[in-house]
Structure 1
Amino acid sequence: MIPAASMCGDFHSILVFLLILCFEVIIINSKTSTLWKLNSDKTKIIEASPFHPVISYPTEFSGSGFMEEDPLFHIITSTEHVGQSWVKQAVQYYCTDCQKDKQNLTDHPITSMENVRSNSNDEVLDCGKPVNFTYFDNLVGVLNRHRHPIVPEPQAVLCFTKSYGKNKNEIDDFDIDTLEKKLKKAKKEKPKSIQLYNQIGNFWRIKGDAGKAIECFRRALAASPHNAEVLLNLARVLFSLQYLDDAIYLTRRSLEVQSSEKGAWQQYFTLGEIFKAYGHYQEASIHLKHSLELNPGFEPAQIALKEMETMPAATIHIYTLVIIVCLVLGVLLVILSSVDTIVDYSDDIKPQRHFNKAMAMRSIRGITMTAKRCKRTVT
């Protein structure tokens, strides 16, 4: 028989466990308990949970501040039925200073939401979402586009001028803010223009943001992989970052696809600068002179030629000279050591007598005469 007291104790323990379990189920805010339904127009999915009220405002905001965001259900609630498909229409808002935003939303929720919407509509001068693939993504400089340092290129201003470097003060007098306003206006008019992508990329070259510039050039090359101007501008970006192999490949590719109607003086000038950076001054001079033939008076090419003319004709690097001297000394030491070894070996060997036929015959005659005498004596 089981005692009654023991049975009561076990029953009491089970009852306490069930009460605790029920309490935990009630207080848990489970996402699986959320119910969803269509609104009255059947164009939007809204929340209709018995544990939460129906939300009629954007899910990022509430009267007491920011709600905990669920990315999956946020996609569902921000999707509307348009025509025969569901389209994501809601605008995402991001918190930059959560504590301050919570206070502002608590005090003035409507005004704060309007301010966030106006700030989110500020136009950003970029080329949109990066493309997934281009034929030049295998280049090292393009692969590392998100890790490039800020390297401004003031010479990129020449892409927006008509004199092409003939005026000395055109770079200093160029207004970058005016250019930015013009590009933003052009972006509204033709947001998917290849020429616009190229110009925005050159704008970021002036600013020194190589990552944004490369993304703009990639977007242009994704639509037009044989655009000589875009290829050249991408080569200029990688050249400023000292990716010389990538730069010379892109420049030569640009030269191959350059139309005969337009002069290729920019390609030859870029090749001259790259070969100059390599230290191949003779090839650099040839390309720079060719560039001046196509565009006489181009000042950067003239300056580069003057710099190379002032350099000595036979320019040998100091390290190369040291290596040559060490090799010559090493060869001399090997030759001297081998000569000493030969002399020592010759001293140790005794001189050998040369074979003489006359002396050999005399020796044979002496032996035969001695043998005859021995026979006579015996007989």
Structure 2
Amino acid sequence: MNSITSFQNLVTLTLYVLVSEIISTNSRTSTLWKLNPDRTKIIEGGSFYKVVSYREDQDPSGLRFITEDDPVFNIITSTVHLGRSWVKEKVEYYCTNCHNLKAVKMDKYGNSSNIDNVKDEVLDCGKPVNFTYYDNLIGILNRSKHPNVPEPQVALIFTKKSKRKNLQDFDVDALERKLKKAKREKPKSVQLYNQIGNFWRIKGDAEKAIECFRRALAVSPYNAEVLLNLARVLFTLQYLDDAIYLTRRSLEVQPPDKGAWQQYFTLGEILKAYGHYQEASIHLKHTLELKPGFEPAQIALKEMENVPTATLHIYTLVIIICLVLGCLLVILSSVDNTSDTEYAEVKIPKHFNRSATTRALRSFGLSQKHTRPKRILA
């Protein structure tokens, strides 16, 4: 009996724990979804999801805030019935990488329109990637230490040909909103990463621009356009070795059907900064062959033509002087060593060596023997 009673108590305790857990758990299956009166769209019909009215007494159209509590519900509510099938619409108000609140204007049937951000989401390319093939470059390694250097001319990429001369009227905020919308539609696009990187070039934030280009290169390591944009960033920051390496790499992987005048122009600018005017002129002239009338290349060529060709570079002059002085020092030291050896060979012996003297005299046909004169007998 005792064993049966203890077993019953154990079963009762287990059931009590399970029931308490079920009651305390906020199950997603308890959500009530329903169709709108036209039976063409799924709408929320009462659940634990957080739906807050926003001054409905002043806005009869029904402006409501929808949070990111349940992504599944957001996906389902974007599905509408067309004909005999259910089709998913674009989820304008659903953000996959942020927890910001979105304002959605909805009618009485639950249809959404005129979406505005309540709180601006951050325009970035997500979490930085761990590795790319170009992380060994100094300019990329020091990306967190770069100063803020805006590049307003990058706005030419986002403008039409008819409006390229009026960069002062370029609306950076409108471009930011456009890129945020594109990010919500295609958050993992190499082209989008490239465009966001160019946006941060306009702003002057080199670190964010480099991170966007790194993310694009992690997906597509041989993208010529991304490589060139990254080279332009490092060239602006005066990392000339890194910039010329990336530009030449971009030129190598550039598709044959696309013109490479941008790569040649960038090479010309970098070589001009190096002081290699002859090679820079070759690349700039090639740029004008591929894109006739390109004004920046023409200006760069005129600047190099005004530089005197006979003028020696200061570093070249210093090297020549050092070489001449080094040669003179070597010659003088060799002369001193030669004179010392000659004086050492002509030393006078301290002791008179009779035998050596005798041999020397014999070599000249002389003899040291003294012959006594013979006596003459009377």
Match of 2:136 in 1: 138
Are residue 182 (structure 1) and residue 185 (structure 2) matched? no
Match of 1:43 in 2: 27
Amino acid at match of 1:155: Q
1:194-343 superposed matches below 5 A: 194-329=190-325, 331-332=327-328, 335=331, 339=335
Amino acid at match of 1:151: V
Are residue 148 (structure 1) and residue 146 (structure 2) matched? yes
Deviation at 1:208, TM superposition (A): 0.4
Cα deviations across residues 100-142 of structure 1 (Å, max 9, x unaligned)? xxxxxxxxxxxxxxxxxx9874222222222232222222222
Three-state SS of the structure 2 residue aligned to 1:172 is helix
Are residue 370 (structure 1) and residue 371 (structure 2) matched? yes
CA distance in 1, matches of 2:273, 2:181: 38
Taking a change above 3 Å as real, the CA distance of residues 40 and 285 of structure 1, as seen in their structure-2 partners, is: same
Taking a change above 3 Å as real, the CA distance of residues 361 and 330 of structure 1, as seen in their structure-2 partners, is: closer
Taking a change above 3 Å as real, the CA distance of residues 344 and 42 of structure 1, as seen in their structure-2 partners, is: closer
Amino acid at match of 2:371: T
1:57-76 superposed matches below 5 A: none
Higher helix proportion? 1
Deviation at 1:257, TM superposition (A): 1.1
Paired residue for 1:126, among 109, 124, 127? 124
Taking a change above 3 Å as real, the CA distance of residues 315 and 176 of structure 1, as seen in their structure-2 partners, is: farther
Three-state SS of the structure 1 residue aligned to 2:196 is helix
Tell me the percent identity. Answer: 69
Cα deviations across residues 9-52 of structure 1 (Å, max 9, x unaligned)? xxxxxxxxxxxxxxxxxxxxxxxxxxx956545538xxxxxxxx
Taking a change above 3 Å as real, the CA distance of residues 174 and 38 of structure 1, as seen in their structure-2 partners, is: same
Equivalent pair of 2:156/2:167 in contact (CA under 8 Å) = yes
Amino acid at match of 1:138: N
Equivalent pair of 2:49/2:69 in contact (CA under 8 Å) = no
Equivalent pair of 2:133/2:221 in contact (CA under 8 Å) = yes
Deviation at 1:255, TM superposition (A): 0.9
Taking a change above 3 Å as real, the CA distance of residues 338 and 218 of structure 1, as seen in their structure-2 partners, is: closer
Taking a change above 3 Å as real, the CA distance of residues 150 and 302 of structure 1, as seen in their structure-2 partners, is: same
Cα deviations across residues 236-281 of structure 1 (Å, max 9, x unaligned)? 1111111222211211111111111110000111111111122222
Three-state SS of the structure 2 residue aligned to 1:363 is coil
More displaced 10-residue stretch of structure 1: 181-190 or 284-293: 181-190
Match of 1:33 in 2: none
Amino acid at match of 2:196: I
Taking a change above 3 Å as real, the CA distance of residues 336 and 160 of structure 1, as seen in their structure-2 partners, is: same
Q: What is the Cα-based RMSD across aligned positions, in Å?
A: 4.3
Three-state SS of the structure 2 residue aligned to 1:316 is coil
Are residue 158 (structure 1) and residue 161 (structure 2) matched? no
CA distance in 2, matches of 1:302, 1:359: 91
CA distance in 1, matches of 2:342, 2:135: 69
Three-state SS of the structure 2 residue aligned to 1:129 is coil
Query: TM-score, length-normalised on structure 1?
Result: 0.60
Query: TM-score, length-normalised on structure 2?
Result: 0.60
Structure 1: gaps of 5 or more residues: 1-35, 45-55, 59-77, 84-88, 94-117
